[in-house]
Amino acid sequence: MLLAQLGAPLNALGFMVAVLVSVCVIGVPHGGLDHLAGRMLFRSSCGRLWFIPFFVGYLAIAGMAVVGWLLFPLWTAIGFFMISANHFGREDRSPDPLVETVTVWSSLTAIGTGGLVIWIPAIARPTEMQQILQAIIPAGIGASSESIVFWTQILAAMFVPVAIVEIIYSFASPEARAHDGVARAVRHVFLILMLVATPIPFSFCLFFCGWHSIRGLSQLMQDHRMTLQQLTIAALPMSLGAVGLCGLGAWFWSSGRELNAELTRTLFLGLSGMAVPHLVLHDLMPMMVRHFSFESKLDNPSAA
């Protein structure tokens, strides 16, 4: 129904099937294999007990995100958008964590370009964005979709010009062109056009499953020296579980039942709560790798 109201360019049922398959096969493994990154992060200091600090920290961050939605929904939404933008932007550049120098400008451009998938809809499709927020954020949480969109537009007014400057620089600078700048700028221009021209569910799903998650899984294979077969086997339980939940949801709706406000709130809080530690983990990893590398060079100067 929501897709029909938003004017989805594809048959609603076919679109939903394609989205669900993409999310189950690509999107779910992208976040569901975070324990591999956690093992890499804590194994050197905690050995076989690496899973204790990882899962304690992961669940603690998820809990703080849920509490934030309940107590400070507006600012939690804005914070969620900001860390998501930073995550998308930094992973799109795929920097080498051992050599990249994080500067104020690199952080601003990461948020500006990575957040295009958020900033452009807030400017070009505010009514549609409000409808989506109304559908996923129950009124009982206390944040109005209008206020969230309004403050997102304020951020968009700040970060879209930064993104435009970065796109122009990527085309014009010989240094940027030598580091995949043109391809990155072309992707950003294409993304802006797609976000303006197509409904948000279509453009976001294409961006998330068709680019971000695939790139993330590819990087995961490289970091952990996994083959495609090994990755598929590792992700299979999560994909099958996601398919099972989708099937359960299809049966639930086909039987004439409706989601009540409490169940909708629980689903939304659970999903967004688990997304936050994923974002924090993958933005923390480069800093931690850089730190440990620096420490090892101090302990063993001959390795430098």
Interatomic CA distance for residues 209 and 215, integer angstroms: 9
pLDDT in tens, 130-155: 888 877 775 656 567 888 999 999 99
Give yes or no for residue 242 having a pLDDT over 60: yes
Residue 154 exposure: Cα atoms within 13 Å on the Cβ side: 6
Range with lowest mean pLDDT among 93-97, 215-219, 222-226: 93-97
Residue 8: pLDDT band with limits 50, 70, 90? very low
Q: How many percent of the chain have pLDDT more than 70? A: 70
Give yes or no for residue 257 having a pLDDT over 60: no
| Contact between 142 and 165 (Cβ < 8 Å) | no
pLDDT at position 126? 94
Give yes or no for residue 128 having a pLDDT over 50: yes
Interatomic CA distance for residues 213 and 140, integer angstroms: 32
In terms of Cα–Cα distance, which of 165, 173, 133 is closest to 151?
Answer: 133
Range with lowest mean pLDDT among 46-55, 164-173, 271-280: 271-280
Q: Which residues of 159-196 are buried (b: 16+ CB within 10 A; e: fewer)?
A: bbebbbebbebbeeeeebeeeebeebbebbeebbebbe
pLDDT in tens, 102-123: 678 888 999 999 999 999 999 9
Taking each helix axis from N to C terminus, what angle separates 126-136 and 116-124, rounded to the nearest 10 degrees? 110
Higher pLDDT, 245 or 62: 62
Residue 75 exposure: Cα atoms within 13 Å on the Cβ side: 4
| Average pLDDT for 219-237 | 82
